[in-house]
Amino acid sequence: MNKPIRRIVIAGGGTAGWMVAAGLAKCLGRQYDIRLVESEEIGTVGVGEATIPTLHFMHEILDLDEKEFIQATQATFKLGISFENWRNVGEHYFHSFGRTGRSHWTAGFQHFWLEGRKRGLAGDYGDYCLELRAALDNRFALLPDNGINYAYHFDATRYGQYLRRFSEQLGVQRLEGKIARVHTDADSGDITGLQLDGGALIEGDFFVDCTGMRALLIGDTLGVRYESWSHWLPCDSALAVQTTSVGEPVPYTRSIAHPWGWQWRIPLQHRVGNGVVFSSQHIGDDEAKAALLANVQGEVLRPPRVIRFTPGQREAVWKNNCVAIGLSSGFLEPLESTSIHLIQKGLTRLVELFPTDGVVQSDIDEYNRQARDAIEHIRDFIILHYHVTNRTDSDFWRQCRDMDVPASLQHRIRHFRDTARFTPAAGDLFAENSWVQVMMGQGIRPASHHPITRQMDDRSLADFLGDIRKEVARTLMKLPRHQQFIDQFCPAPPVDPRAPAPALRPTPGFINRDARVASLRLDDGSLVHVVDDFAQDPDALVALAAAGQFQRIAGHPYPGPQQPLPDAIAAELDGFFRERFGAVLGGGLPLGLHARFSRVVQDAATLDPRQRICHRDDSGLDAGERVAASVHYLFKDEQLGGTVFFRPLMSAADTQQLLRDAATLDASAFGDKYGIPPGYMTDSNRYFEVIGRVPAKWNRAVFYDGCLFHSGDIRWAAGQAGYQSGLGRLTVNAFFKSRKS
């Protein structure tokens, strides 16, 4: 099992797939080839629009800009969850993020509050929590020193697209297609490749199953059984619908209990997400749909759709060389907004335990142990909401109240009911304040509390509680309205809520099939293929690039910003290449394409050693693979330069040493050793000889063998302003990977 890992394949997109892709690319991307396979024809659940504060850690890992993320996903802020009708019909409570009061090392704040209530000195428990008071007063602001704990409501589809753009900019390659067959090794049982319905075989060394409830890899292929928790979590169905906004968005999720389940209401900037989670044994689909539509506000934007699920967990979520993350690993209903957290935790756990020199069983065992501990803790917390209730108005709630619950939860309920104590376990997601709020909110009144609270006389206890309450009130008064803060800090661009999230695929058909093709033979006998009038509408491509976001990729040697080429255009470009030049340049079975818009903007005097010399496009290839490449010129100033090709004047060993030195030596040491000053390489020197040039021309594309040494023909000194103004030297660069024939 100690086969080194070089190629990671993620099966499935959506929120899970692209969170995994983004995290792996950010943390490990320089060491591994990461590819993601998904099909536009396969939908995603896409209703997980509420989060918890742990998402901040994920965004810190990715170094995301919060304002940009909020605007891209039409997000609002979330300070907690309002639970309505859960304890009993007409009775509500609030599970807030953050901290309530101040604890002592001997006892949590609830002990002091209970003593205060006993003496008539304490107000409502929520009066001592800023997040709770701010939520119910519809106020929010970012405070210094993490002074307020918050999460987000966002459009899950737009979030997946946002992470996809981010991942592709870090080099993740997306492959379109349905998985028709999963190949395994007969001896080890390891997965070796994914056969797509179009015939392409996507081989890898390590696989992440993000195929949702289908669990094509971990379940269908590796045979890991699913453990149902339906006897504790009775809901097995959901209906989701979107409505237009009515009034200002509140900074919390509403969870409204019904006789057969519960309803969510999640406000975004451009619409409201609604849905019901219900037990199909207690209500039919049509009745649940009618109940949902009768309890929403605003215009219904799309018909509700039914989602079936079985609460539970795979008996193992890592087996052989495959880890399941997201719905393929298990599912807990969305009551406490933990689905995205579990994806995030699966990813970060994978990064922490990523196989160093190949998969070993101890890593598998540790990953599975941690995954089970984490989800069982969350499972118990969700069961608590159903089991501890005073509702007796329906068979559903009587069944929940009377059911047996896991021993771990029984102990926590009994311990809190007897003593007001809660003892968190290592790694628990929900801390003491969350459990206390929900247990008291659901109706538990502890029989006693810690005796240390009796050490305080009435004056001391009243001052202690009063100071906390006053500080919450003072801070609350300074907070703006939630909508006011959004308008000032992060208003998202207006969109039509009736329209689906914009696809990342423009309409295909951009290549001019009547384009003129010619071949140029270089001095070493190699052929370079030149296509003039390549795109039917090159101005539209330029406009597409201008509308997107260019970004410098840290550590990448390209001397300027990039942005991924939209998938539909990339797919058409790939098809054109395979059809016209595959036999002479592409080799055998296609293994994928990476394509991007690129601009050269870096001052020649600042180039590092890698950027001062010509290069090849074959880095990171396995022995049986090859790559071809293309560049499409989308600038009209031909003085900005085309492409120049070279051959080395040294032995293969000396050439490799120069390339290694360029990647490892600093600029000064490299210059001293080789005498190559800063600047773009456009002419022969004592190490490389020019063997041909292709001049730049508006709407010209050049296809060539990626093993050829080449460089942009950048004449920086003669036209610096031309490179740095507007889109400058805008090109489309594409790399076509395949098996050697």
Cα gap 706→619, rounded to integer Å:
10
In the chain, what is the straight-line distance between the N-terminal and C-terminal CA atoms, in Å?
29
Q: Which of 150, 166, 153 has its CA nearest to residue 48?
A: 153
Q: Tokens at residue 36, please?
A: 């993601």
302 confidence band (pLDDT: 50, 70, 90): confident
Q: What is the pLDDT of residues 624-661, one digit of tens each?
A: 889 999 999 999 999 999 999 999 999 999 999 999 99
The residue whose two tokens read 């069961």 is 383
- DSSP string covering 74-111, please? T-EEE-EEEEEEEEETTEEEEEESS--S--BTTB-HHH
Helices 339-352, 361-387: crossing angle, 10 deg rounding = 160
Q: Are 191 and 322 in contact (CB under 8 A)?
A: yes
The Cα–Cα gap between 14 and 209 comes to 12
Q: Per DSSP, what are the bridge partners of residue 296? A: none
Q: Which two tokens stand for residue 110?
A: 């609830």
Please count the other Cβ atoms lying within 10 Å of the Cβ belonging to residue 56: 17
Instruction: Please state the CATH superfamily assignment of the domain spanning residues 516-739 in this structure.
Output: q2cbj1_9rhob like domain (2.60.120.620)
SS3 583: helix
The two tokens of residue 346 are: 């699966």
**Which amino acid is it at 491?**
P
Supply the DSSP symbol for 298: S
Distance CA 115, CA 449 (A): 8
Q: From CA 289, how far away is CA 291, in angstroms rounded?
A: 5
Is pLDDT of 347 > 90? yes
Rounded to whole angstroms, the Cα distance separating 472 from 476 reads 6
- What's the CATH fold of domain 7-73+149-230+311-441? FAD/NAD(P)-binding domain (3.50.50)
Nearest to 229 by CA among 404, 95, 50: 404
Residue 382 pLDDT exceeds 80:
yes
Can you give the pLDDT at residue 503?
58
The secondary structure element, H or E, covering residue 166 is: helix 156-169
The per-residue pLDDT for range 432-465, each reduced to its tens digit, is 999 999 999 999 999 999 999 999 999 999 999 9
Above pLDDT 70, what percent of the chain? 97
The answer on pLDDT for 583 being more than 80 is no
Total number of residues shown for the chain? 741
CA–CA dist 34, 642 (Å, integer): 30
CA–CA distance, 561 with 374 (Å, rounded to integer): 40
Q: What is the mean pLDDT of residues 675-704?
A: 95
> What average pLDDT does this structure show over 248-274?
96
pLDDT(508) > 50: no
Pairing of strands 318-319, 322-324: antiparallel
β-partners of residue 7 are 33
Q: Report CA 272 to chain centroid distance, whole Å.
A: 22
pLDDT for 505 equals 47
- Token pair of 659 as six digits: 């390339």
Question: How far is C-alpha 230 from the chain's CA centre?
Answer: 29
- Provide the pLDDT for residue 507: 39
Buried b vs exposed e over 193-221: b needs ≥16 C-beta within 10 Å?
bbbbeeebebbbbbbbbbbbbebbbbbeb
The crossing angle, in degrees rounded to 10, of helices 14-28 and 339-352 is: 30
Residues annotated as part of the active site: 78
Query: What does the pLDDT read at residue 47?
Result: 57
Of the two residues 618 and 724, the one the predictor is more confident about is: 724
Cross-strand partners of 191:
184
Q: What letter would DSSP give residue 128?
A: G
Identify the band that residue 120 occupies on the pLDDT scale cut at 50, 70 and 90.
very high
**Which residues 6+ apart lie within 8 Å of 491 measured at CB?**
71, 269
Q: What pLDDT is attached to residue 498? A: 76
Predicted local distance difference test score (pLDDT) of residue 553 = 86
Nearest C-alpha neighbor of 244 from the set 269, 261, 279: 269
The rounded Cα 367 to chain-centroid distance in angstroms is: 20
Q: Tell me the pLDDT band of 420, cut-offs 50, 70 and 90.
A: very high
Bridge partners of 17? none
DSSP structural state of residue 500? P
Evaluate if residue 138 carries a pLDDT over 80: yes
**Same-fold call for 7-73+149-230+311-441 versus 516-739:** no
Q: What is the pLDDT of residue 42?
A: 66
Mean pLDDT along residues 347-354 = 96
pLDDT band at residue 506, thresholds of 50, 70 and 90? very low
Three-state DSSP state, 293: helix
Spatial CA neighbour of 237 closest among 267, 218, 265, 260? 260
Q: With bands split at pLDDT 50, 70 and 90, how would you rate the model's confidence at 255?
A: very high
CB 718 within 8 A of CB 639: yes
Is-contact 251 79, C-beta < 8 A? yes
Closest to 174 (Cα-Cα) out of 366, 376, 39, 320 = 39
Distance of CA 418 to the CA centre of its chain: 42
What is the side-by-side strand order in the sheet with 318-319?
173-176, 33-38, 7-11, 206-209, 322-324, 318-319
How much is the pLDDT for 45?
55
The residue-averaged pLDDT of 315-319 equals: 97
pLDDT digits (tens, 9 = 90+) for 384-418: 999 999 999 999 999 999 999 999 999 999 999 99
Domain spans of the chain, in order of start: 7-73+149-230+311-441, 516-739
Do the strands 330-331 and 688-694 form a parallel or antiparallel pair, or are they unpaired?
unpaired
Tell me the C-alpha to C-alpha distance, in Å, between residue 522 and each of 356, 379, 437, 644, 665: 43, 66, 74, 10, 32
State the Cα–Cα distance between residues 560 and 666, nearest whole angstrom.
20
Of the candidates 567, 523, 527, 538, which has an alpha carbon nearest to the alpha carbon of residue 702? Answer: 527
468: helix, strand or coil: helix
Strand segments, DSSP code E, in 252-304 are 253-258, 261-267, 272-278
What is the distance between the alpha carbons of residues 646 and 671, in angstroms, rounded to a whole number?
20
Q: Looking at the predicted structure, is the pLDDT value of residue 231 above 50?
A: yes
Q: Which of 90-99, 172-181, 477-486, 690-699 has the lowest mean pLDDT?
A: 172-181
* Local confidence band at 593 (pLDDT 50, 70, 90 cut-offs): confident
- Give the H or E element holding residue 38: strand 33-38
Reported confidence tier of residue 196, pLDDT bands at 50, 70, 90: confident
Is beta strand 173-176 parallel, antiparallel or unpaired with respect to 33-38? Answer: parallel
Max Cα–Cα distance, the chain, nearest Å: 95
Residue 430: both structure tokens together: 């929900």
Q: How confident is the model at residue 575 (pLDDT cuts 50, 70, 90)?
A: confident
When pLDDT is averaged across residues 189-214 and rounded to a whole number, the result is 91
